[in-house]
Structure 1
Amino acid sequence: MSAPPGWFRQIYGARLRHLMVLTGCFLLAGYAVLALGPDQLFDSDVWWQSPAVWFLGGAIVVDLVLFPLCSATDRALKAVLRDERTPHRRGPRVPIVNYIRVPVLASGLLLLLFFPGIIEQGKSSHLAATGHTQEPFLGRWLWLTVLFCCLSILAYAIRYGAGRLRTMRSIERERDD
């Protein structure tokens, strides 16, 4: 007798594809550790610069600081933007939460990525390596943040306008019937 179709999901908790992708990620991480070699991973002179320390530190910071901070901010945003609609209002319902969340997360990720350049850390080595200063980093990050916000506003306006047009068409159809 064969097993029921969802037996693996009941035992493992997810689909087989999830296990395969997770196994592939662990194999890739193991290969990276082997390719770097233990000498580069755990150098005793500059132990704090080793990839293993940064990986563990990043995981701890993400799990203990950033995830609770993002969750609390998201709950606060949802509480502030809770839709208190009156029953007689017939406009389109377009939730704005994602149109705020996406540009903020993109801007925050770029801030984390380019933070050393924004605060001009290592300006002499950067100047020696590239021949350029780090002065434009802050301005470029701010312009990208403005661009993300403008694109998000534009996407929200298009979606809201399309919903409004659909609502008006359905009202006209109701009147015609």
Structure 2
Amino acid sequence: MRRLPVLPLGSPFQLLLLACSFALAAYAGVQLLAGDWLSVALWFVGAALLHDLVLLPLYALADRAVVRGLEAGGRREWAMYVRVPAALSGLLLLVWFPLISGMVDRRYRSATALPPDGFLTRWLLITAVLFGASALLLALRVRRATKRRPPAVH
């Protein structure tokens, strides 16, 4: 007699947590689409198309240029020290673009009673710190690697 395969479902607590997360996501979806569902659907489709047709080729091309530039110097493994801060900086730009670009200054001021000034400056500072920290980490790792390397025998 053949046994039925056992499904890896997890513990009852995990299943309850998963069911609660699905219920919360369904509630959020219903609330989001309750108003102007067509605008929300168009925004999602537009965001997917913008990402897939414009942004993805741009950052893939930029990554390829960085990797090729580092390969020419024999330092391909250094690419992650550029990729990580660039990805974090790009994510911050994507999230805060309306405020960084100044497109929603009046709306931000009326909603929060705070001045919308300084978002561009802060984003640039955060980007500089990310790249600076990455460069410092790379320098420390290169220094540690050169200390461990035995001296060359002539």
TM-score range, shorter chain: 0.7 to 0.9
> Which residue number corresponds to residue 57 of structure 1?
46
Match of 1:33 among 19, 29, 33: 29
Say if 1:94 and 1:160, in contact at 8 Å, map to a contact too: no
Larger RCO, structures 1/2 (Cα 8 Å, 6+ apart): 1
Q: Does 1:104 align with 2:99?
A: no
After TM superposition, the structure 1 = structure 2 runs for residues 106-145 of structure 1, keeping only pairs within 5 Å, are 106-145=88-127
On the 8 A contact 2:67/2:76 being kept in 1, the answer is: no
Aligned residues, how many? 139
Distance 1:116 1:104, change over 3 A: same
Write the letter of the residue equivalent to 2:57.
Answer: P
CA pair 40-111 structure 1, distance change in 2 beyond 3 A: same
Can you list the C-alpha shifts for 1:39-86, whole angstroms capped at 9, x where unaligned? 3252xxxx43x2x2222222222222222222222112111111555x
Question: In 2, distance between residues paired with 1:121 and 1:84?
Answer: 42
SS at match of 1:135: coil
Cα distance, 1:37–1:129 mapped onto 2, change above 3 Å: closer
SS of the equivalent of 1:82 reads helix
What RMSD in Å do the two structures reach over aligned CA positions?
3.2
Show structure 2 runs of 5+ residues with no match: 3-7, 10-17
Give the TM-score, by structure 1 length. Answer: 0.64
User: 1:154 maps to what in 2?
Assistant: 136
Report the TM-score, using the length of structure 2 for normalisation. 0.73
Stretches of structure 1 lacking an aligned partner (at least 5 in a row): 3-15, 18-23, 86-92
Is contact 2:99-2:119 (8 Å) kept? yes
Contact 1:77 1:97 in 2 (8 A): yes
- Provide the C-alpha distance between the structure 1 equivalents of 2:143 and 2:76, rounded to a whole number of angstroms: 10
How far apart are 1:38 and its partner, in Å?
Answer: 4.5
- Residues 1:82 and 2:64 are matched in the alignment: no
Identity %: 35
Q: Which secondary structure state, in structure 1, belongs to the residue aligned with residue 123 of structure 2?
A: helix
